[in-house]
Amino acid sequence: MLRSFDYAAHHSVREPDGGTVRREFRAGEWAQRNSAALCDGYAAGSGSDPRESGALLRAYEVDKAIYEVVYEARNRPTWLSLPLNAIRRLTQP
């Protein structure tokens, strides 16, 4: 689900008229807010907050993004920048 929020947020930024720095920032903000809400709900329901295992959570997200690279390369090559940019963001310190 976290990757879905990221995909939805950054899809509009990939459009030719949407690549402004401000829109990129707002997309990231939106994805972060929704991801935090999901993790808050998960923690409330399970008693375990996935953000407490940040490295593991990030590893799962990178793994999913790598899967998305293969999928987009095979099916929607014009969307390939979405998972590639996500991997770049997820692997930044």
Continuous H helices in 12-53: 21-46
Token couple for 4: 């879905």
Q: What is the pLDDT of residue 46?
A: 97
Q: What is the pLDDT of residue 15?
A: 63
Q: What is the pLDDT of residue 19?
A: 59
CA distance 50 to 53: 6
Half-sphere exposure of 51 (CA within 13 A, CB side): 12
pLDDT one-digit tens code per residue, 7-63: 999 887 766 655 588 888 899 999 999 999 999 999 999 999 999 999 999 999 999
3 state DSSP class of 89 = helix
Amino acid at 49: D
Q: What is the pLDDT of residue 93?
A: 82
Domain boundaries along the sequence of the chain: 2-90
Q: What is the pLDDT of residue 17?
A: 59
pLDDT one-digit tens code per residue, 52-78: 999 999 999 999 999 999 999 999 999
